[in-house]
């Protein structure tokens, strides 16, 4: 029988937790970029947009793992996301994921899941079958598309539509168009009628020659966080997050939103 998550990791405000995760991820991104610059096995050249994206996605994985895991049951919550850094072994998979799976990503750019154990079909190395971890439910699913291309946004937002999760986050680029409201309204429509709490984060581009290209390595990124409406109306801004944003969780490790009403008023199961 599936077990409920420990009460120690429940939080009444998923938006509050997400703000903390994103601020932590921004700080970790700068740390990751600095480590890349000083890594002796890395070619001596300017940091590329691919490397910035890699640092950002790894930072997101680490931040979700830090703030979503419960110290009393760390093996119950697993997180995948990003690609291995220069100092990480590719074949081992995400250090925050299920060790035996040896994966860095699991279906989404970032996935935070709760796992349970089931017995294998047959005993192999002893009298009893080995217990195998299996995903019971997704807690957070994250997709990111920074190209400001409507078709690519439609593809990645559709991934969030077909996955079931308590909470979902879509990360998109802050537009430089003269009427940014139209971009925000488009994103709201792309994220309408998705199950669970849905959030939108707008970040500056890290593409070469973009306005935000130098902001990422220098730690000058400001992220706009929105809560999306089920009816597709324009997302509502709820926070501006930067490296300097404080840790707003009451404890060190918290998991948000279990057993609480979602944006439709339905009860999210525990």
- C-alpha pair distances (Å), 62 with each of 22, 139, 212, 268: 11, 15, 23, 25
Query: Taking the CA of residue 242 as centre, how many other CA atoms within 13 Å lie in the half-sphere pointing to its CB?
Result: 8
Task: Give residue 188's pLDDT.
Answer: 95
Compute the distance between CA of residue 133 and CA of residue 80 in angstroms, rounded to an integer: 15
Residues 6 or more apart in contact with residue 46 via CB below 8 angstroms: none
Task: For 205-244, write each residue's pLDDT tens digit.
Answer: 888 778 777 888 888 899 999 999 999 999 999 999 988 7
Number of neighbours of residue 200 by Cβ within 10 angstroms: 24
Three-state SS string over the chain comes to CCCCCCHHHEECCHHHHHHHHHHHHHHHHHHHHHHHHHCCCCCCCCCCHHHHHHHHHHHHHHHHHHHHCCCCCHHHEEEEECCCCCCCCHHHCCCCCCHHHCCCCECECEEEEEEEEEECCCCCCCCCCCEEEEEEEEEEEEEEECCCCHHHHHHHHHHHHHCCCCEEEEEEECCCCCCHHHHHHHHHHHCCCCCCEEEEEEECCCCCCCCCCCHHHHCCCEEEEEECCCCCCCCEEEEEEECCCCCCCCCCCCEECCCCECCCCCECCC
Handedness of CA 71, 74, 77, 81 (dihedral sign): positive
- Map out the domains of the chain as residue ranges: 11-113+139-256
- C-alpha pair distances (Å), 260 with each of 10, 65, 112, 128: 10, 21, 18, 39
**Buried-exposed string 104-141: b where 16+ CB fall within 10 A, e elsewhere:** bbbebbbbbbbbeeeeeeeeeeeeeeeeebeeeebbbb
Do 164 and 130 form a contact (C-beta atoms < 8 A)?
no
Per-residue pLDDT of the chain (270 residues; tens, 9 = 90+): 344 444 334 445 899 999 999 999 999 999 988 888 887 777 767 788 888 899 999 999 999 999 887 654 556 899 989 888 777 777 788 888 888 888 888 899 999 999 888 888 888 877 888 888 889 999 999 999 988 888 999 999 999 999 999 999 999 999 888 899 999 999 999 999 998 899 999 999 888 778 777 888 888 899 999 999 999 999 999 999 988 776 654 433 333 333 333 443 333 322
- pTM of the predicted model as reported, rounded to 2 decimal places: 0.82
Query: What distance separates the 2 farthest-apart alpha carbons in the chain?
Result: 69
């Amino acid at each position: 029988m599936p077990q409920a998550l420990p009460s120690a990791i429940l939080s009444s405000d998923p938006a509050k937790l997400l703000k903390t995760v994103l601020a932590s991820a921004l700080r970790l991104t700068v740390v990751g970029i600095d480590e890349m610059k000083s890594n002796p096995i890395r070619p001596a050249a300017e940091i590329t947009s691919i490397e910035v994206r890699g640092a950002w996605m790894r930072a997101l994985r680490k931040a979700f793992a830090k703030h979503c895991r419960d110290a009393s049951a760390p093996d119950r919550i697993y997180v995948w996301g990003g690609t291995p850094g220069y100092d990480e072994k590719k074949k081992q998979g995400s250090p925050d994921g299920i060790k035996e799976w040896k994966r860095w990503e699991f279906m989404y750019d970032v996935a935070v899941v709760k796992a349970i154990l089931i017995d294998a079909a047959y005993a192999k190395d002893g009298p009893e079958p080995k217990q195998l971890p299996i995903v019971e439910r997704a807690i957070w699913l994250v997709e990111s598309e920074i190209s400001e291309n409507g078709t690519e946004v439609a593809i990645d937002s559709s991934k969030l539509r077909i996955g079931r999760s308590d909470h979902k986050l879509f990360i998109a680029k802050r537009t430089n168009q003269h009427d940014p409201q139209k971009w925000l309204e488009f994103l709201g429509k792309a994220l309408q009628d998705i199950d669970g709490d849905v959030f939108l984060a707008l970040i500056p581009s890290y593409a070469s020659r973009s306005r935000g290209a130098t902001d990422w390595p220098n730690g000058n990124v400001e992220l706009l966080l929105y809560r999306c409406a089920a009816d597709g109306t324009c997302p509502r801004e709820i926070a501006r997050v930067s490296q300097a944003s404080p840790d707003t969780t009451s404890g060190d490790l918290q998991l948000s939103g279990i057993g609480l009403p979602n944006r439709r008023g339905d009860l999210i199961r525990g």
